[in-house]
Chain A
């Protein structure tokens, strides 16, 4: 699988570390419903059969955290941005 890093170009998936579904942002621990919010944030997942937004870390490249939208049924990559949604500068 090739992941088109916005900074380095298309690179082999071996160069990347997978972190998991791009859930977030992390809830505010001072919220009155913080326990519920953290339960959802840490444990519950949509787990779609289709487009999944997920975090990958390009450790053997530019060391950027990336947000990748990938189809989990075909592994086709639909879009890659920086983790905060920023595109290539």
Chain B
């Protein structure tokens, strides 16, 4: 059913008796052309673009829990394309362009709000770094503005501009960045994919793989064996667990990243801002809560809850720069398991085994990449070759030395 103002009003007035579910509930078929493991944003976007751009419609998305129950529902909803390196920036800018047209494409309100993001600058060295990054963004069509202190004040008057340790000297802004409603992204892609014939199968955990020699010929699940010509993994923090069943070792470690919301407040924060020096970033949701986060819990973890020392650390960072938050109460926190790679950049790969396709290592930046990840992964699966925009995200870059290390910290996944 195509959504419109007319049928929203009509269905509202008739108690939704004539509306239909957003996606079909189906039982798994015995075989598919493509099985995508993982019903998060990336998996569902991949299925959608496989069906829409490449005409591959005999596709199933298998999800262990309910769709969007992993990192798609555990992030801080920020979309941006403010990257530096050549392997990254064109990809993320394509993602940003897809975000800009995604609501019309999906006929679904995902509440894209291009309110801008400001990275704060506290000293000359940081300004130099952001000027360089801003120039890379402008070259790639992402757009960027260098703000002086008074321009930052016009957007964020509540900052402690004369903080003794980190005085605010300016900022680098991407005006087209912003936020999107994370659950709606999942639902929108699920609905779009389902309408094109993709089977979305929830509560179906992949427990193993069907093999023919080296080749992958399907998956064993809690709902029986399903055969497939191609099996694609988009399972974020669980990638190593599934790869382990194939005796594959990957350049990934799983860490927990927490996110937080405050109680609802009146509107006062009109853009997203990041305080990199103090490990705090924040935006205000349409409902009024502050949505914020900081650093990883610094050690390997698969526990989707996070630990208290990091809660304290993030809140201290926020209070240092926005003292008026001192009486705001924390409403809740949550945590997602991030597949942190050894250079902080993702992997989209044909193989490494016949019939297998990898989409992983999104670190803590997977949400903004959702549309382009699906776009490029669908191309990779359909054509058995990398998409030009994701060609640098290959698995063997760790062997050949073509790392994409935005932060330059080397093989320390907890520091990216």
Question: Contact residues of A with B, CB < 8 Å?
Answer: 1, 13-14, 18, 20-21, 35, 39-40, 42-49, 52, 54, 70, 72-75
For residue B268, give the distance in angstroms from its CB to the closest CB of chain A.
33
Q: How far is the CA of A47 from the CA of B237 in the complex (A)?
A: 10
For residue B399, give the distance in angstroms from its CB to the closest CB of chain A.
5
Q: Is the CB of B398 within 8 A of A39?
A: yes
Q: Is the CB of A73 within 8 A of B303?
A: yes
> Which residues on A sit within 8 Å (CB–CB) of B342?
42-43
Q: Is B17 an interface residue (CB 8 A)?
A: no
List B300-321 residues whose CB lies under 8 Å from chain A: 300-303, 307, 309
Interchain CB contact (< 8 A) of B254 among A13, A14, A47: A47
Q: Is the CB of A20 within 8 A of B309?
A: no
Q: Is the CB of A20 within 8 A of B414?
A: yes
Q: How far is the CA of A52 from the CA of B244 in the complex (A)?
A: 14
List B213-266 residues whose CB lies under 8 Å from chain A: 238, 240-241, 244, 249-254
List B376-416 residues whose CB lies under 8 Å from chain A: 398-399, 411-414
Interchain CB contact (< 8 A) of A45 among B241, B253, B299, B301: B253
> Which residues on A sit within 8 Å (CB–CB) of B299?
18, 54, 70
Show 20 A/B contacts (Cβ-Cβ < 8 Å), sorted by A: A1-B307, A20-B253, A35-B399, A42-B342, A43-B251, A45-B249, A45-B251, A45-B252, A47-B240, A47-B254, A47-B300, A48-B240, A48-B244, A52-B300, A70-B299, A70-B300, A72-B302, A72-B303, A75-B301, A75-B303
Q: How far is the CA of A46 from the CA of B254 in the complex (A)?
A: 10
For residue B131, give the distance in angstroms from its CB to the closest CB of chain A.
32
Q: Is the CB of A44 within 8 A of B300?
A: no
Q: Is the CB of A42 within 8 A of B244?
A: no
Q: With A14-B309, A43-B398 given, is the CB distance from A21 to B253 under 8 Å?
A: yes
Q: How far is the CA of A45 from the CA of B57 in the complex (A)?
A: 35
Q: Is B55 an interface residue (CB 8 A)?
A: no
Q: Is B141 an interface residue (CB 8 A)?
A: no
Closest to B396 in A: A39
Q: Is the CB of A72 within 8 A of B254?
A: yes
Q: With A20-B253, A20-B412 given, is the CB distance from A46 to B244 under 8 Å?
A: yes
> Which residues on A sit within 8 Å (CB–CB) of B238?
49
Q: Is the CB of B399 within 8 A of A39?
A: yes
Q: Is B86 an interface residue (CB 8 A)?
A: no
Q: Identify 9 new A-B residue pairs, CB closer than 8 A, beyond the known A40-B249, A72-B300, A74-B303.
A: A39-B398, A42-B342, A43-B251, A44-B250, A47-B253, A48-B240, A48-B244, A49-B254, A70-B299
> Which residues on A sit within 8 Å (CB–CB) of B398?
39, 42-43
> Which residues on A sit within 8 Å (CB–CB) of B249?
40, 44-46
Interchain CB contact (< 8 A) of B252 among A13, A39, A47: A47
Q: Is B157 an interface residue (CB 8 A)?
A: no
Interchain CB contact (< 8 A) of A21 among B241, B300, B307: B300
Q: Is the CB of B240 within 8 A of A72?
A: no
Q: Is the CB of B250 within 8 A of A47?
A: yes
Q: Is B298 an interface residue (CB 8 A)?
A: yes
Closest to A19 in B: B412
> Which residues on B sit within 8 Å (CB–CB) of A73?
301-303
For residue A55, give the distance in angstroms from its CB to the closest CB of chain B.
11
The 9 A-B residue pairs whose C-beta atoms are closest, nearest first, are A47-B240, A44-B249, A43-B251, A43-B398, A49-B302, A18-B299, A43-B342, A73-B302, A72-B302
